[in-house]
């Protein structure tokens, strides 16, 4: 549909997944591969970038390695150091095919069983129910410095070639930090977009959805471990992986609060639509969510202009009707104004259709 984006996975079969249907496997095996030459290149790029933009800081991020579907009673295997991606999308252009996700999962699970690389078996016929399946996200750790030095490097094509040749994975040497974004729908059926400031690092001036990153540091703090970004490790978070999942879901609501100034009490439970890939930044992944809001578009507009903690990141708020969003495509005038992450979220929303046209909103108690 658009060369800037594609869909890595979508959750159309279940109209999206709730927090209870997602788990994570966190391991250093899912970190990026590296060598001294790559590290030197990253350090050189970071030093040069910070000299121009001294306000930058190197925060820890989660790295998406791969994923699989399984029933809760059969946790994923950790036998392989490299686990192939289970691509539940259609093609690499962001469009989905006519197969159901269930058929994709069953077919790819069989392939993985045959190659003995994954223990995610037992995908049952009732996979479409809210009691199953569980989506397991395999996460490692990375950081903003590595993201700039790999995904945004002028040598990214070479890094991808090396990754494919040396690890059979074109993104093995890339940071691949996992972002989050929200298709936020108001009580009167409008979807909230924000115009990015020209001062932000990426996609300045374009329309985007509220979003950011789940933060490893927040997870550590919730586990009672006060630590600086540079010292965060996988081991610190492995004791309670459900806190990582909680951060994945709650972080998207926190971003809505901070960027749009909508209180958490007005937001419904986030529904995971899937994961999109931003090919402007070498296929960087972003988990996209649907979040309903009990406020009208006029009320959201008023709150936005009062300003939230991250008001400086955008310059305007724009509302698009659900009907228009469902019809939006690359030939629409608005499409060229969207940044890649917003395009990916729109494609996933059109595919999954999590709201079914209803207006109902269930407020949640999120982080404060």
State the Cα angle at 337 between 331 and 340, rounded to 5°.
90
DSSP 78: -
- Among 259, 265, 243, 251, residue whose Cα is nearest residue 196: 259
pTM of this structure: 0.82
Q: Is the pLDDT of residue 22 over 90?
A: yes
Query: Which tokens go with 264?
Result: 């958490």
Q: What is the pLDDT of residue 133?
A: 65
Average pLDDT over residues 95-111: 36
Helix (H, G, I), strand (E, B) or coil at 334: helix
pLDDT per position as a tens digit, 31-82: 999 999 999 999 999 999 999 888 888 999 999 999 998 765 544 433 333 3
- Among 293, 294, 304, residue whose Cα is nearest residue 260: 304
Tell me which of 74-78, 133-137, 241-245, 337-341 is least confident: 74-78
Average pLDDT over residues 130-153: 90
Who's near 44: CB < 8 A, 6+ residues apart?
none
- The β-bridge partners of 208 are 194
Separation of alpha carbons 331 and 342, rounded Å: 16
Alpha-helix runs per DSSP H in the chain: 36-52, 101-115, 144-150, 156-167, 216-222, 241-260, 297-306, 322-327, 340-352
Separation of alpha carbons 155 and 158, rounded Å: 5
CATH of span 5-70+133-352: 3.90.79.10
> Across the chain, what does the average pLDDT equal?
83
Q: How far is CA 97 from CA 112, 203, 308, 332, in A?
A: 21, 29, 40, 22
């Amino acid at each position: 549909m658009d060369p800037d984006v594609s869909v890595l996975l979508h959750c159309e079969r279940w109209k999206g997944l709730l927090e209870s249907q997602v788990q994570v496997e966190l391991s250093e095996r899912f970190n990026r591969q590296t060598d001294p030459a790559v590290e030197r290149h990253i350090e050189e790029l970071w030093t040069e970038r910070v000299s121009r933009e001294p306000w930058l800081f190197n925060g820890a991020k989660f790295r998406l390695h791969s994923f699989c579907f399984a029933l809760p009673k059969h946790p994923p295997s950790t036998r392989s150091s490299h686990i192939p991606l289970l691509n539940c999308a259609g093609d690499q252009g962001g469009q989905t095919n006519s197969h159901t996700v269930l058929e994709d999962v069953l077919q790819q699970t069989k392939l993985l069983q045959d190659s003995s690389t994954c223990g995610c078996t037992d995908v049952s016929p009732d996979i479409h129910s809210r009691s199953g399946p569980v989506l397991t996200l395999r996460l490692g750790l990375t950081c903003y410095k590595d993201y700039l030095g790999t995904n945004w490097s002028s040598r990214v094509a070479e890094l991808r070639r090396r990754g494919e040749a040396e690890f059979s994975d074109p993104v093995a040497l890339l940071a691949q930090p996992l972002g989050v974004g929200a298709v936020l729908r108001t009580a009167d059926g409008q979807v909230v977009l924000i115009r990015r400031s020209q001062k932000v690092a990426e996609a300045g001036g374009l329309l985007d959805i509220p979003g950011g990153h789940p933060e490893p540091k927040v997870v550590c703090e919730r586990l009672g471990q006060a630590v600086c970004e540079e010292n965060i490790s996988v081991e610190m978070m492995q004791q309670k992986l459900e806190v990582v999942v909680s951060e994945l879901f709650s972080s998207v609501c926190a971003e809505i609060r901070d960027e749009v100034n909508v209180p958490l009490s007005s937001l419904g439970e986030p529904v995971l639509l899937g994961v999109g890939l931003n090919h402007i930044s070498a296929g960087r992944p972003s988990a996209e969510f649907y979040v309903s809001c009990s406020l009208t578009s006029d009320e959201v507009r008023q709150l936005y202009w009062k300003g939230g903690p991250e008001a400086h990141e955008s310059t305007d708020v724009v509302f698009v009707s659900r009907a228009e969003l469902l019809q939006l495509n690359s030939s629409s005038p608005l499409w060229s104004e969207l940044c890649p992450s917003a395009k990916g979220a729109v494609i996933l929303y059109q595919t999954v259709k999590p709201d079914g046209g209803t207006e109902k909103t269930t407020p949640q108690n999120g982080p404060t």
